[in-house]
Structure 1
Amino acid sequence: MNVGDKAPEVLGVNEKGERILLSNYRGKKVVLYFYPKDNTSGCTAEACSLRDNYSALKSKGYEVIGVSVDSAASHKKFIEKHELPFTLIADTDKSLVNEMGVWGEKSMYGRKYMGTFRTTFIINEEGVVEKVFSPKEVKTKTHGEQLLAL
């Protein structure tokens, strides 16, 4: 998924089992951020940065939605533990990570495995991708500030 592409209408199911559609956010910019795993250090830092900047992001017209392949139950615990004010999509069937092009082969300590590339998409009010933060561009500890600087 690249700048100028239309984002998918069906985003998936959140931590409450609710089906999330992009059209639910018409008229708002959406920060759709993909992260590898609940309760890992980098993912927690990123989520907390977005949490700490959430009211400022909302005041600029943004809605934040997180996505990982973790279960809804895992997302619920992650939200409660870190008091996250935004919804998390449980993409357990990997449909959205594949559609958005953020699922692929990764490598850690020489071991290869399939996983989610940490990526953030800014989607405009009409559902079109306006900006993409690639894995190398996302700064987990200050991601909220990165978005506010746009």
Structure 2
Amino acid sequence: MPPTPSTRPAECYTPAHACSRHANNTRSSTCSPAITTSPSKSPGAPTRTSPGAYRDPNKIRGKALMQAEIACLSDAGVPSSLTEIVTLGRTLKLRAGDILAYFDHPHTSNGPTEAINGRLEHLRGSALGFRNLTHYITRALLETGGFRPQLHPQL
């Protein structure tokens, strides 16, 4: 079966090795290093690799690469037969602000959130005997350090 022709921009399918390089050894702005074509597949079938945007030491250039990646995946030229890619592009377009915030806020982590979630999951496994939702919530607050009893009710 012949590959479905695509109307996507050519830079969305640019092979990583074919990217033009400037004198300072950086990729041109029309190159998307996150999508490469595999020689064993048809020329229009992209192979996903890890995005270079997050690894780029220059956060401005990394943000531009990620914006280009989101634009390519959310482009109207994606064949409708690739439903997963269409859904991914729609989700990336809707969450672009959250995704691109990584480049504006360095050294952020979801580690503290995952730590609290881990404690709550452990509590949920050991809280099977709770009959009252209020008691479960109180226990969850005690476990995660979010419960701060007042010294005096009038304070």
> TM-score of the superposition, structure 2-length normalised?
0.21
Q: Which has a greater percent of helix?
A: 2
Q: In terms of Rg, which structure is larger?
A: 2
Q: Which has a greater percent of strand?
A: 1
Bigger RCO (CA 8 Å, 6+ sep): 1
